Amino acid sequence: MKYLKLKDNPKQALFLIVLFGLILRLIFFSGMGISDSLAYSKAANDLNTGNGIDPDSTLTLSTRLGMTSITALSYKLFGINDFSAILFVLLTSLASIILIFYFGRLLFNDKVGLIAAFLLSIFPMNVVYATKLTSDLPSAFFMSLGVYIFLYCEKKSTQSYSKYFLSGILIGIAYLIRESALLIALFFIAYILWKRKIKLTYFLVPLGVLTILILESVFFFQLTGDLFYRTNASQDYLVAANELHNYFGRLDFPTGLLHYPYIILTSPLLSLFYILIGAATIYLIYNKRNNMHEIYLWFFVLLLYLSFGSASFSQYIPFRAVDRYLSIITIPGLLILSLAFSDKKLLKKEMFSTLLIGILIISSIGTVYLRDDRNLLDSLDEIYPSLLPIKKPIYSDSRTIAALEYISDYTLPNNFHSYPDDFEKGFYVVHNKEMIKNLREANSKAKFPEELDNNDWLEVKKIDELILFQIK
């Protein structure tokens, strides 16, 4: 394609694409979130302060050592701030752009790799979550790197025992960051069935994963006395959370079966790209591109399991339909689209291919620009200095208190508390309307003091939807 003039120097072109991706991510910096991000941050700080794992925290998040330990290290090196919190996620997002290029080069050619790298650099979901403290992008990167090394050995016909073992180690690291990384086992099973043969070296991949699992189990056994602490905590939390939220409606038949198709077609972070990926798949099959088996197996097998499989070992609990959960199939999906864009027949229709790329660029930047979930803690950050001189008890919802802990570098004075059952005179309340709204949307059974909706308190300060009241 003519918009990739640097195709004769692919590494230079790749550098410019990564630089563009970095600039885009910094311009649309997301910052600390108000849910999972705060839980990861608190767990990371607890590691640094020697507090271990807080039993009152969201267990399935605080036990993800691959996420919390790296964030803890970043806090030690750079202090507690929005940049240090997301540094690991940002680096893995940029590393994924490099990785997808090498996937393209390995499976197809440099042109496909460069197009794929460019598409990933502007992919809205990746841009948005690259600067949020969430585990999806880092886990997907290490999982994909493990797949790359495996396929590299397969394509190069090398029987390097260390590389196959390393593939498993990397997937194990991905698991330490997020449990869903283990779904890649479905790809390996499908790959073996497609190949209709098993090589001795294949067993080194699960051995590498098992090595990481054993090391993790030993760590948790020393900490808690339970070898399967993370698994038990994760499964228990999963059951409780899904029952609390009525399984996010995914057990409702037949609408529950349509949740992932619905989010794919309606999420602005996904829809345009995924519609084109679907069209590209049909186009490539129609034109009999037969060298796509690995990519199709990775993309469609994992997508089917996310859509209909169970997240629990003991009972059927379907995955919640969330756009970021699809991070584990971003690389194969964009490779499918990139191969279609690089097809000679489409290249002859230069205006058509250029138009599609242009639409993707405009749509991606517009989508990210219009999002309202950037810098969510700005109002709290602004009001925090006004709260410090107050020595009387200050009450707010649990997430606002967690956010204030983060803003204070986890040195929040001990007069800050979550809402009591009954208010008394002389206290203060930080009424975070937006946070309350989000909490009620996340949990319809959540209860808050009735006075929040009907009060005659003295308003001390107001910033956006954040109000500081004094209870007279």
The upper half-sphere exposure of residue 413, i.e. CA atoms within 13 Å in the direction of its Cβ, equals 13
* Predicted confidence (pLDDT) at residue 183 exceeds the cutoff of 70: yes
Q: Are 244 and 300 in contact (CB under 8 A)?
A: no
Using alpha carbons, select from 151, 130, 141, 161 the residue that is nearest to residue 28: 130
Which segment of 46-55, 92-101, 186-195, 407-416 scores lowest on mean pLDDT? 46-55
Q: Are 376 and 31 in contact (CB under 8 A)?
A: yes
d(CA 273, CA 337) in angstroms, rounded, equals 8
Average pLDDT over residues 224-252: 80
Residue 427 pLDDT: 86
| Phi and psi at residue 428, to the nearest 5° | -120, 155
Residue 2 pLDDT: 47
* Predicted confidence (pLDDT) at residue 146 exceeds the cutoff of 50: yes
d(CA 357, CA 205) in angstroms, rounded, equals 38
Residue 1 pLDDT: 45
Question: Per residue in 337-387, pLDDT tens?
Answer: 999 988 877 656 666 777 888 899 999 999 999 998 888 899 999 999 999
d(CA 227, CA 67) in angstroms, rounded, equals 20
* Predicted confidence (pLDDT) at residue 323 exceeds the cutoff of 70: yes
Residue 262 CB contacts under 8 Å (≥ 6 apart), including other chains: 321
How high is the mean pLDDT of the chain?
89
Average pLDDT over residues 101-123: 96
Residue 456 pLDDT: 73
Which segment of 11-20, 43-52, 182-191 scores lowest on mean pLDDT? 43-52
| Phi and psi at residue 315, to the nearest 5° | -155, 165
Residue with tokens 């948790």: 220
Residue 3 pLDDT: 45
d(CA 344, CA 336) in angstroms, rounded, equals 15
Residue 224 pLDDT: 83
Grade residue 446 by pLDDT with cuts at 50, 70 and 90: confident
d(CA 103, CA 92) in angstroms, rounded, equals 16
Q: Which helix (H) or strand (E) holds 137?
A: helix 136-155
Residue 346 pLDDT: 65
Using alpha carbons, select from 133, 116, 121 the residue that is nearest to residue 93: 121
**CB atoms closer than 10 angstroms to residue 262:** 11
* Predicted confidence (pLDDT) at residue 51 exceeds the cutoff of 90: no
d(CA 366, CA 385) in angstroms, rounded, equals 35
Residue 357 pLDDT: 83
Q: Where are the beta strands (DSSP E) in 79-195?
A: none
Q: Are 68 and 43 in contact (CB under 8 A)?
A: yes
Q: Which of 3-7, 32-36, 127-131 has the highest mean pLDDT?
A: 127-131
* Predicted confidence (pLDDT) at residue 297 exceeds the cutoff of 70: yes
Strands 428-432 and 394-396, by their bridges, are parallel
Residue 4 pLDDT: 47
Residue 115 pLDDT: 94
- Better-predicted residue by pLDDT, 438 or 84: 84
* Predicted confidence (pLDDT) at residue 5 exceeds the cutoff of 70: no
Instruction: Enumerate long-range contacts of 301-306, CB under 8 Å, 24 or more apart.
Output: 301/186, 301/187, 301/190, 302/183, 302/184, 302/186, 302/187, 302/328, 302/329, 303/260, 303/329, 305/183, 305/186, 306/183, 306/260
Residue 6 pLDDT: 52
Grade residue 296 by pLDDT with cuts at 50, 70 and 90: very high
Q: Which conformational region is residue 23 in: left (phi greater than 0), alpha (psi within -120 to 50 degrees), or beta? A: alpha
Residue 128 pLDDT: 97
In percent, the amount of the chain with pLDDT more than 70 equals 93
**CB atoms closer than 10 angstroms to residue 312:** 14
**CB atoms closer than 10 angstroms to residue 430:** 24
d(CA 219, CA 239) in angstroms, rounded, equals 24
Residue with tokens 């209909």: 308
Dihedral of CA atoms 47, 51, 57, 58 in degrees, nearest 10, equals 30
Q: What is the reported pTM?
A: 0.93
Which segment of 340-344, 421-425, 432-436 scores lowest on mean pLDDT? 421-425
The upper half-sphere exposure of residue 208, i.e. CA atoms within 13 Å in the direction of its Cβ, equals 27
Q: Which conformational region is residue 447 in: left (phi greater than 0), alpha (psi within -120 to 50 degrees), or beta? A: beta
Residue with tokens 């990371």: 44
**Omega prior to 254 cis, within 30 of 0:** yes
CA-only gyration radius of the chain, Å? 24
The SS3 of residue 431 is strand
Q: Are 72 and 48 in contact (CB under 8 A)?
A: yes
Grade residue 59 by pLDDT with cuts at 50, 70 and 90: low
